[in-house]
Amino acid sequence: MDENRFTINLPTKDDETVKAQIITVFSDKSRDYIALMPETEDDENPEERIVLLYRYKEIKASSDGGAVSENGGEINGIELIEIKSDMEFNSALAKFEEMVGA
């Protein structure tokens, strides 16, 4: 995994976390998406690794220290949102593949 890239900890169904490299962030049809590549034990074959796509929102800190999602303040984190619609997923996937030349 490229040491100069940003990473994020993804929660798993087992209440554990896995580190994932942020591949890119992009917009499609006025929604923001993030492409993530989870780290694996076998990082020798990166072309065989999976890429996960999520919709995401930036979480910003309000002046009183609470988190707000769409209004002012500094970015305090991100919220990952599972893409449940096949149509939305396919659209985001096509945009991602166009960006990376797949």
Compute the distance between CA of residue 43 and CA of residue 20 in angstroms, rounded to an integer: 12
Residue 40's CB is within 10 A of a number of other CB atoms, namely 14
**Per-residue pLDDT reduced to its tens digit, 73-102:** 455 678 889 999 999 999 999 999 998 886
Q: What is the mean pLDDT of residues 4-19?
A: 81
- Identify any residues that bridge with 22 across adjacent strands, giving them in sequence order: 36
Compute the distance between CA of residue 6 and CA of residue 25 in angstroms, rounded to an integer: 11
pTM of this structure: 0.73
- pLDDT for the residue 9: 85
Residue 53's CB is within 10 A of a number of other CB atoms, namely 19
Domain limits, the chain: 7-100
- pLDDT for the residue 11: 80
Q: How confident is the model at residue 16 (pLDDT cuts 50, 70, 90)?
A: confident
**Per-residue pLDDT reduced to its tens digit, 33-86:** 999 998 876 656 656 678 899 998 887 766 655 554 444 445 567 888 999 999
Compute the distance between CA of residue 74 and CA of residue 82 in angstroms, rounded to an integer: 24
User: Is residue 25 helix, strand or coil?
Assistant: strand
